[in-house]
Structure 1
Amino acid sequence: MLANVYPWVMVRAMTDAPSAARAETRDDDLPPVQPPSAGFIVQLFVVPALIVLAVVAVWTLFGRLAIGEQDWRRLVQDLESANPHVHKRAMFGLAQLLDADQRLKHRGQQLAANPEIARALVSQFERSLNQTAPDDETLSLQVYLSRALGLLDVPATTVPVLVKALEPQRQTEIRKGAVTSLALIAGRALERGEPLGEMAIAALTELSQDADPTLRRPAAFTLGLTPSPVAVDRLQVLLADADVMTAVNAAVALARQQSTAGFEVFVRALETMPPAQNPVAQQETLLIQKNVLHAIAGLGALFDAQQRQTLRQLIEPMAQHHAEPRIRIEARAALNALAQRP
């Protein structure tokens, strides 16, 4: 009955039976299938991918180096553009390029020592400073350039114009920018064994006598980066400055030159530091404490026995109970240094 109703089913079944048997025989004759190994997959996909990535990375590196070289040359040319928008974009672009290159350290193009860039930016700054009646935009430009020059390491080109920017008739922010740049340049020059010369020292000495303590402070700090008898003599005077931070900067600057002349300033700073009343004052207090402790640690056994005892009595509570972990760390380092024998 089933065959009558579905004759094609029976025929198909009869027809497929030998085929199935033959298929089973062929399957038995085939070798077993092995799954691909991890090593094979790595060779097939991962290794070629790594090769491609390496090629792309090398191409990108050389492409960026070439683009970077073109960028600074183009920006230097654009500084002379009559179009004020192109001119400003080039100036800001150069400063950003210098900052980015400095962050790359030895992997960068060392643009900080590039004399063409230095001459171009200094020319712009001098031109701006020579204006007799600068508007607000020009003054903002002067402030920007006074700070940007600190990224350069061509002192013979940059120091004279920065000294010019320290003149008393300049705006305070321009003078602050200039002395900050001089500090950066002086620090790197000192590391190279090429401290700044008499021109910078004379200008910093004059600035350290300004009525504005916000100018005396960086002047004292920077004098410590220009070792000379003139700088040391002025720092000795600044130890008695009425402004606490100026006096501390002078003491720290002398400590950098292995002098313990700032001992009394260190003691006053650790004894009489009042509780900070606002976040800005709190940060200033922490900065003073950190710098003083770091300077004491650097001098260590150079203090006499009585001085070491006095400093230990002031520092031990800070090492144990100060609220700021970084101050506790600095305090312990100072105590370790004071424990060393002369």
Structure 2
Amino acid sequence: MTESPQESASIPESPLMDDLPPVQPPSAGFILQLFVFPALIVMAVVAVWWMFGWIAAGEQDWRKLLQELQSQNLHIRNRSMYGLAQVLDQDSRRGDQGQNLRANREITQGLTDQLIIELRKNSSSKEGVAIQEYLTRALGMLDPLDITAPALQMAMEPQRDLDIRKSAVVSLSFIAGRALERQQPLSNPESIDALIQLSSDPLPILRQSSAFALGLFHSPAATHQLEVLLGDGDEKTRVNAAIGLARQKSTAGFAVIREALHQPVGEPAAQNASATGTTSEGDRLRLEGEQFLVVKNVLKAVKELAGKLDDSQRQELTPLLESLSSKHPEIRIRVDATDALQTMKRVSR
């Protein structure tokens, strides 16, 4: 059977296949325009909505937490205590955009009352001590010292755990320090008396911290005790007393300041670690951190006293400052030493 011309003829390829453009994947820019940019806009809108909603709820949150602080349920009470401290911390981080909860007397009274309750329990359990320490530190975020002072003084009593006593001094330092920044120095007699008593404690760490705190209060009693502490057997206590006096524009601690600046430049932390037998890396780093803060604070004290020093005192400090400004391994110390040196030269003209 013969094939028909139609069956035997070859079928030509379609010209449409060659006319189509080549397929290419979408570019990164196209994907950004199509998906990522709209997604970022949506996320920004949601974030703004969430932020304003969270800020609006903040006013209700602290009031609710303050009510729960009175609960008989231990878990609810502890949760509200930690929650209030977090609200205070978050509000302080927002600065002028916050609610200024530092000055809120309701929150201050609520947390103070709770600390007094916990201190009266005098629990020595791990959880009890942790709660007392947490509340003691939380009071340092609040400004009304007339409310917090009794509780902080209780926390400094000799029978308390060491960490609680230290936390009380730190809180007083924060409160008094903020008052100084506002140019409203505090002179709370009860708090000063408590710090003076603590500055005679056998433990050097308590004498050091109380000397620092006393320097933030303005009163004749605080100044007198700082002058007494210039003769303390512990070096850091002497230095903190001298720094405190400098903050009050007193040159009584000049000899201690000069001694602190007379440390050999190089590796003093390693030398001290070897001398005390603390040669571990952690001890070395801790000593370096402590010495850095000592020198930094002493240099700040020199700047504050620059206008009060006489010519002979400036001449004694000049070579020490020049050595620190050119040879100290820490650049921040070199900068601060240069700044203190220039300040001294400027006021001596």
Q: What range describes the TM-score normalised by the shorter chain of this pair?
A: 0.7 to 0.9
1:61-84, Cα deviation, whole Å (9 max, x unpaired): 331122212221221122222222
1:1-342 alignment runs, 5 A limit: 56=46, 59-131=49-121, 134-196=124-186, 197-272=188-263, 274=268, 275-277=271-273, 278-279=283-284, 280-342=286-348
Q: CA deviation at 1:228?
A: 1.2
Larger-gyration structure (1/2): 1
Gaps of at least 5 residues in structure 2 are 12-32, 274-282
Q: 1:73 to 1:287 in 2, by over 3 A?
A: same
Q: CA deviation at 1:6?
A: 11
Distance 1:293 1:175 in 2: 29
Q: Tell me the SS of whatever aligns to 2:185.
A: coil
More displaced stretch, 57-66 vs 312-321? 57-66
1:171-221, Cα deviation, whole Å (9 max, x unpaired): 221111101000001111223343332111111111112221111111111
Contact 1:118 1:157 in 2 (8 A): yes
What is the Cα-based RMSD across aligned positions, in Å?
Answer: 3.0
Q: CA deviation at 1:311?
A: 0.6
Contact 1:98 1:151 in 2 (8 A): yes
Distance 1:194 1:130 in 2: 32
Distance 1:133 1:50 in 2: 52
Distance 2:331 2:44 in 1: 44
Distance 1:74 1:111 in 2: 15
Distance 1:6 1:294 in 2: 104
Q: CA deviation at 1:243?
A: 0.8
Q: Tell me the SS of whatever aligns to 1:242.
A: coil
Distance 1:288 1:47 in 2: 51
Gaps of at least 5 residues in structure 1 are 10-41
Q: Tell me the SS of whatever aligns to 1:102.
A: helix
More displaced stretch, 271-280 vs 211-220? 271-280
1:236-287, Cα deviation, whole Å (9 max, x unpaired): 1111111111111111111111122211001111224653424222221111
Identity %: 48
Amino acid at match of 2:159: Q
Distance 2:37 2:291 in 1: 57
Q: 1:64 to 1:85 in 2, by over 3 A?
A: same
Q: CA deviation at 1:46?
A: 12
Q: 1:57 to 1:269 in 2, by over 3 A?
A: same
Amino acid at match of 2:174: L
Q: Tell me the SS of whatever aligns to 1:302.
A: coil
Distance 2:122 2:111 in 1: 20
Q: 1:338 to 1:217 in 2, by over 3 A?
A: same
TM-score normalised to structure 1 length? 0.82
More displaced stretch, 99-108 vs 196-205? 196-205
Aligned length: 316
Q: CA deviation at 1:52?
A: 6.9
Contact 2:137 2:167 in 1 (8 A): yes
Q: CA deviation at 1:298?
A: 2.2
TM-score normalised to structure 2 length? 0.80
Contact 2:123 2:129 in 1 (8 A): no
